[in-house]
Amino acid sequence: MVDKGLYDVNLNFLYLRPMLSKKTKYGLKALTYLASQKDKAPVQISEIAKCENISQKFLESILLSLRKSGFLGSKKGKGGGYYLIKDPNEVLMTDVMRVLEGPISMVPCVSLNFYEKCADCRDEATCSVNKLMLKVRDANLEVYRNNTLADLII
């Protein structure tokens, strides 16, 4: 059953605000593409870009950052490309999301890895936003911790 919104208004966006960045979206697709390969042979950026409908130049920078953060290996020259370093079963979504999208928490004051006090908040202990976002963080963490790259295939 659909939980229909009670109020109209908010005509100002019709999904003008996709909260997941294209960077993350493309990164996830690329990782999945590599995880779906039969062997571990390097795959060229151009192949991934074409098959997944991604701007090649943009994808270049994303794969580069995935390599620098330890998810991918690369090989230059002919026959080169990118390949997964670990088994898809061992690639946790928590780690992938933190590298691609950034902190999992929606506010710094509930972040495990990137904690910061909110500059404008008087008291964290009685802050309603803190209270709600803590629950949201835990719910998201639960999902990301229980999903690996292997779970995204097919």
Partner DNA sequence: TATTATCCTATCAATTTAATAGAGTAAACA
Partner DNA sequence: TGTTTACTCTATTAAATTGATAGGATAATA
> Which residues form the interface with DNA (CB under 7 A)?
13, 16-18, 21-23, 26, 42-46, 54-55, 57-58, 60-61, 63-64, 67-68, 74-82
Instruction: Tell me which residue of 78, 50, 51, 48 sits closest to 66, measured CA to CA.
Output: 48
- Cα–Cα distances in angstroms (integers) from residue 97 to residues 44, 127, 152, in the given order: 23, 27, 13
Dihedral (Cα; 80, 82, 88, 93), 10-degree rounding: 180
74 binds, among DNA, a copy of itself, none (CB under 5 to 8 A by kind): DNA
Report the alpha-carbon distance of residue 95 to residue 24 in Å, rounded.
12
Report the alpha-carbon distance of residue 137 to residue 151 in Å, rounded.
21
CB closer to DNA, 4 vs 78: 78
Residue 40: strand, helix, or coil: coil
CB closer to a copy of itself, 27 vs 77: 27
Judged by the rule CB under 8 A, the positions of this chain that interact with a copy of itself are 2-10, 13-15, 17-20, 25, 28-29, 31-32, 53-54, 65, 68-70, 93-95, 98-99, 102-103, 106-108, 111-114, 116, 120-122, 126-129, 131-133, 135-136, 139-143, 145, 147, 151-154
CB closer to a copy of itself, 60 vs 152: 152
CB of 154 to a copy of itself, least distance (A): 6
